[in-house]
Amino acid sequence: MSRIGKKPVELPAGTTATLDGQTIEVKGPKGSRSFTATDDVTLTLEGNTVKVTPRGTSKRARQQWGMARSMIENLGVGVTTGFKKELEIQGVGYRAAVQGKILKLSLGYSHEVNFEVPEGVTVTSAKPTEITVEGIDQQLVGQVAANIREWRQPEPYKGKGIRYKGEYVFRKEGKKK
């Protein structure tokens, strides 16, 4: 039994939801997003509350039940407050700058890395060592942050690289004489 799926989704104030078969669309101040649920669950819209119930007791129906409820809740959060990932750069000479839709990264390579920011996400760099990725789609924000981090992951000896804010990097001791 899904404990998450049992809870009805209360959409935040200032949002409107429309249900068309298995597709729910949520509109809010930051934009609109939609989610299409599988045929294993039933969606019902009552006022500003969405209820998800499984069709049957199969394993797939129970899996989709909690997942569909979480996806619908994320639609409401995304169109009202949005999602944000913060990255920090550590290393001598490592820095970032945003120019239009291109994030320029100096990461110790012989060349500068130009990362093109996809549509639906905004990337800002308040300081040369901080990058903020924001958007209404949680999956897209997380993927863009992971793609940026992939250019220079933090290494365990000096800790140089791009890391998520607050991420702990296990440090290793170097060679001894």
Cα-based distances in Å from 35 to 15, 54, 64: 15, 16, 13
> Predicted confidence band at 1 (pLDDT cuts at 50, 70, 90)?
low
- How many residues does the structure list for the chain? 177
The DSSP element (H or E) to which 76 belongs, if any, is helix 59-80
Which SS3 state, helix, strand or coil, does residue 99 take?
Answer: strand
The per-residue pLDDT for range 21-79, each reduced to its tens digit, is 889 999 999 989 999 988 889 989 888 899 999 988 888 988 889 899 999 999 999 99
Does one domain contain both 27 and 95?
Answer: no
pLDDT at 2 over 70: no
Find where tokens 């999956």 sit: 139
Residue 43, domain extent: 3-80
Does one domain contain both 71 and 120?
Answer: no
What pLDDT does residue 48 have?
87
Burial zone of 109 (CB within 10 Å; 0-12 exposed, 13-18 middle, 19+ buried): exposed
Does one domain contain both 94 and 53?
Answer: no
Q: Which two tokens stand for residue 28?
A: 């809010």
> Is 0.75 topped by the overall pTM?
yes
pLDDT at 164 over 90: yes
